[in-house]
Structure 1
Amino acid sequence: MLLRELVGHPALGLRLLHGDDAALDRPVRWIYTTDLIDPARYLSGGELVISGLMWRRGPADSERFVAVLAASGTAALAAGTAVFGTIPDDLVDACRRHDVPLVEVPEETSFSAVTELVVGALSAARGDRLAHTVGRQRRLLSAVAGGMGLDELVAQVSASTGLVCRVLSATGRGIVPGPRALSDPELDRIAATFLTAVRLPAVVGGGAHSVFPVGPASEQRSTSWFVAVEGAFPTWDAEATEAVDELVAIAALDRARRGEGLRVARDIADDAVALIADGAGNRPETATRLRQAGLDPTAPLTVAVAGFVDRPDRLEIARAMLVDAASHGTSGAPAVGVRDGLAVALLPGDADALRVALTRLEPGLGPERLTVGVSRPSEPGALAGALQEARHARDQAEHRPGALHVVTGADVTSHVALLATVPDQVRRAFATRVLDPVLAYDARNDAGLLETLEAFLDCSGSWSRAAERLHLHVNTVRYRIGRVEELTGRDLGVFADRVDVFLALRSR
């Protein structure tokens, strides 16, 4: 109901004392009668406040009362004349100062008559709106049942409300990207608002967009979807708000449906990652799993590993983040499995889009630290080396400060980068030729030669430090290293031979 309709009702005899045409077009959301001088706690905005002015003892009271109404977003003040015989000038002046429309209620008009008229009009309007809403809900549900896609439903709601709607993920991925692509700065602002807002829905700074969560409030925002709508939602009418709320509910259903498919894909990805980690990247069963995961088994792939520092319980959250981020720039979902407490993604091409997408999650991480390592693109036969390169890159990321770091293979300048370029079969053959005699001796005698060799090299060839690490006498370490030299035919006092053995250990 508009204030104009109330003031113009002939049976009430109301008179507008302050307010212009724009004020008369203010909507009245509800009605509230009070004689409290500070009714702020009972006002939420849009009310017609009716008062008999029993609270007024002087001009200062008028100023205080009207200031409270203005701060609460009141639609108008309807003041009765029964107490003073007229409306005090100081009340009129206060309404002018605070731009609160003021309506005079004559003594012969009861407050109950005004209340009955407003409540009746609002109830009728709400009934009409409810019928319209139910009809719209039925049409949307029928469309969903008929197989209409989420993108078509978003377009339908956008057309009916005049508001451009999009469905996005926490990394800014366009589930339904809308009629135009958003720029990276726009996506950064929108995603940051969704991830950090104290309460949702929320308005993005500047009022260009509003964000609505898809799913329950208790869900992890960094792995969720949201609906982004152009414009500030507090300025929308009730019908537009209800339509967007319905779209949010339908998007949640669509997300749940897609989640069922992702659960099947997880098992396939876990198998593919396990085969690659075991050095079987060029075997037929690995190619089959990659193909089932939607990847080309003959094309180069990039490996990315991610995990939260000191939070193994967050593994599935890390996997979900990697699935979302790795889906940028690809036509289908990437293969993301888990291995040794880390999420592992296999994706085609380079990882530039992955880095940008993951960085967008940083505002929502809080005190937690997410570290990510990314390999360079590798042929299927060298994917085990690429996995090692990605893990080494993540190890480097752990030593950097901040909530999120992505380190790529190009940032790694050690033997790991070199070994990652060597096909898995070649690396393992080299390791076998050098170390098999040592492994066989250990298997027969449980002599601990391999453990001693690793400690000796990690301690840069120091007998005493290796003995201290292994809790052995230094002569025992000397004896075991001597046996290793006999079995491998290499002198670990010679730098070139020591490098051979070190690389063999890292190639296993």
Structure 2
Amino acid sequence: MLLRELVGNPRLGLRVLHGDEAALERSVRWVYTTDLIDPSRYLSGGELVISGLVWRTSPAESERFVAAVAGAGAAALAAGEAVFGGVPDDVVEACRRHDLPLIAVPEETSFSDVTELVVGAVAAARGDRLALTLSRQRELLTAVASGLGLEDVVAGIAASAGRGCRVLTATGREVAASAPVPLPVLERMVTTFLTAVRLPAVTRVDGAAYSVFAVGPASEQRMTSWFVAVDGAYPDWDAETSDAVSGLVAIAALDRARRGEGLRVARDIADDAIELIATGGGDRPETAVRLRQAGLDPTGPLVVAVAAFVDRPDLVEAARAILVDAASHVTPGDHPPVVGVRDGVAVAVFPGDPAAFAVALRRLEPALGALRLTVGTSVPYGPAALSGAMQEARHARDLARMREGALPVVTGAELTSHVALLAAVPDDMRRAFAARVLAPVLDYDDRTGAGLMVTLEAFLDCSGSWSRVAERLHLHVNTVRYRIGRVEELTGRDLGRFADRVDLFLALRSL
């Protein structure tokens, strides 16, 4: 409601004591009646403040009251004439100094009549706006249901609003955008989304403002969600722009739900593929079939990544969603990452650069708080060595757990142990090598239960110390010597020789 409409109502008999034609074009958002000397804490801007002036005992108090009302952004002051037989001159002068429109309310006009008129007009306007908003959102939803893509929705809203719009994931991956943004702006948008106490929020880069809106319920973890970022500060927008952006947020939520449903359908296939790889079947034909069914081309170099929250097994699905998002930064659009869960950790298989994958992941660090997400990746390997790549990724994550920070990421390129060497060997060759070296020992244990394998592993882990092995396994030293002697007889290796000891160590790690 405009001030002009209020004072133009003949039934109320209101008079303008201060305010020009431009002031009468002010919009009244609500009405607030008060006799407090300082009501500013209860005002949020745009109100018509009605007062009987019972607080006034001196011109100084008039100055104090008017300054508080004007400073809070009120649209105007409606002052009752009943107490003083008119509006005191010092109140009028204070309103002139602070450029606050002043309206006199005659004694015969009740404040409730003024309030009823304003509230009725504002409520009607809000109802009309709500109806228009719902109509626009229905039109958008109908268009989307008919096949309009999110990219088209973003482009249309950006054109109608005259400002850049984009839908982004928590790692800054572009889902749809009217125009790209520079990297520093993208990083600020992501950080604002992940850390703002309340959303929507406004962030600024080099003087330019950007508004960030959450997509989906407020209770959802932000690090697995989407957000909408639009040029400009949302409090300054007109109603039409605000409604258009609200529609975009709703459509983005719908699109995200659709994609999430597709991921849930493919989840069982992904889990099967990860299980085959984890159990040494990375080079089997059925593994390639599962990867193809999940949409991934298994013929090129592939990276394996594992991730989990430290001491939070309940967040394994969040870890899965994070890997999907981060890996999608580096995978071609027609070959999405395959992400499953095994042994309490999320595992991803994808083509792409593990270093770029790590950069995307680290954008989530501001959202973790007291949580720790540790991640390990392999270097790219051919499909015949996928099981070894998973071992390398797990080893890299073990190393990440020993590092500081909320989100340490270790890549296979940082590993210098035998794990990297074994991972580069095709899975069938590693299994064949282990079988040739250790098959006689395994068979002997199966027949007799002699515990030779356990003793051998402890012997190598204790650097060949008889006494430490005996202490660890609670055996007599002579028993340890006897068992190691049997291992040497069955394998044809001399554990006193470094080269033979390395053969047995690598064979154990290749099982």
Asked whether the two chains share a fold, i.e. TM above 0.5, the reply is yes
Task: Name the CA distance, whole Å, in 2 between partners of 1:254 and 1:44.
Answer: 35
Letter in structure 2 aligned against 1:374: T
- The answer to whether 1:412 aligns with 2:411 is no
- Indicate conservation of the 8 Å contact 2:17/2:104, yes or no: no
- Indicate conservation of the 8 Å contact 1:3/1:24, yes or no: yes
Letter in structure 1 aligned against 2:493: R
Task: Name the CA distance, whole Å, in 2 between partners of 1:64 and 1:54.
Answer: 14
Task: Name the CA distance, whole Å, in 2 between partners of 1:364 and 1:212.
Answer: 16
What is the Cα deviation at residue 498 of structure 1? 0.9
Equivalent residue, structure 1, for 2:146: 146
- Indicate conservation of the 8 Å contact 1:75/1:100, yes or no: no
Taking a change above 3 Å as real, the CA distance of residues 159 and 5 of structure 1, as seen in their structure-2 partners, is farther
- Indicate conservation of the 8 Å contact 2:166/2:179, yes or no: no
What is the Cα deviation at residue 72 of structure 1? 3.5
- Indicate conservation of the 8 Å contact 1:81/1:104, yes or no: no
Taking a change above 3 Å as real, the CA distance of residues 473 and 96 of structure 1, as seen in their structure-2 partners, is farther
Instruction: Answer with 158-167 or 271-280: which moved more.
Output: 158-167
Task: Name the CA distance, whole Å, in 1 between partners of 2:173 and 2:263.
Answer: 16
Task: Name the CA distance, whole Å, in 2 between partners of 1:377 and 1:20.
Answer: 72
Q: How does 1:291-440 map to 2 (within 5 A)?
A: 291-330=292-331, 331-332=333-334, 333-440=336-443
Task: Name the CA distance, whole Å, in 2 between partners of 1:438 and 1:57.
Answer: 103
Equivalent residue, structure 1, for 2:226: 225
Q: How does 1:84-483 map to 2 (within 5 A)?
A: 84-92=84-92, 94-95=94-95, 99=98, 101-105=100-104, 107=106, 110=109, 111-112=111-112, 114-176=114-176, 178-205=177-204, 208-330=209-331, 331-332=333-334, 333-483=336-486
What is the Cα deviation at residue 248 of structure 1? 1.9
Instruction: Answer with 213-222 or 19-28: which moved more.
Output: 19-28
SS at match of 1:305: strand
Aligned length: 505
Report percent identity of matched pairs. Answer: 71
Instruction: Answer with 431-440 or 271-280: which moved more.
Output: 271-280
Taking a change above 3 Å as real, the CA distance of residues 34 and 385 of structure 1, as seen in their structure-2 partners, is same
What is the Cα deviation at residue 230 of structure 1? 1.7
- Indicate conservation of the 8 Å contact 1:306/1:322, yes or no: yes
What is the Cα deviation at residue 61 of structure 1? 2.8
What is the Cα deviation at residue 25 of structure 1? 4.3
What is the Cα deviation at residue 363 of structure 1? 0.4
- Indicate conservation of the 8 Å contact 1:13/1:109, yes or no: no
What is the Cα deviation at residue 343 of structure 1? 0.8
Instruction: Answer with 376-385 or 145-154: which moved more.
Output: 145-154
Task: Name the CA distance, whole Å, in 1 between partners of 2:474 and 2:408.
Answer: 37
Task: Name the CA distance, whole Å, in 2 between partners of 1:478 and 1:164.
Answer: 75
- Indicate conservation of the 8 Å contact 1:66/1:100, yes or no: no
TM-score by length of 2: 0.92
Taking a change above 3 Å as real, the CA distance of residues 25 and 435 of structure 1, as seen in their structure-2 partners, is farther
SS at match of 1:288: helix
What is the Cα deviation at residue 165 of structure 1? 2.4
What is the Cα deviation at residue 169 of structure 1? 1.0
Task: Name the CA distance, whole Å, in 1 between partners of 2:52 and 2:103.
Answer: 10
TM-score by length of 1: 0.92
- Indicate conservation of the 8 Å contact 1:7/1:16, yes or no: no
Task: Name the CA distance, whole Å, in 2 between partners of 1:107 and 1:492.
Answer: 108
RMSD: 2.4
What is the Cα deviation at residue 92 of structure 1? 4.6
Task: Name the CA distance, whole Å, in 1 between partners of 2:184 and 2:243.
Answer: 29
1:99-128 deviation line (CA, Å, top 9, x unaligned): 451313153672455445434443443343
Taking a change above 3 Å as real, the CA distance of residues 106 and 280 of structure 1, as seen in their structure-2 partners, is closer
Instruction: Answer with 222-231 or 88-97: which moved more.
Output: 88-97
Task: Name the CA distance, whole Å, in 2 between partners of 1:306 and 1:93.
Answer: 68
Task: Name the CA distance, whole Å, in 2 between partners of 1:447 and 1:128.
Answer: 85
Taking a change above 3 Å as real, the CA distance of residues 413 and 100 of structure 1, as seen in their structure-2 partners, is farther
- Indicate conservation of the 8 Å contact 1:43/1:72, yes or no: yes
The one of 469, 473, 495 equivalent to 2:498 is 495
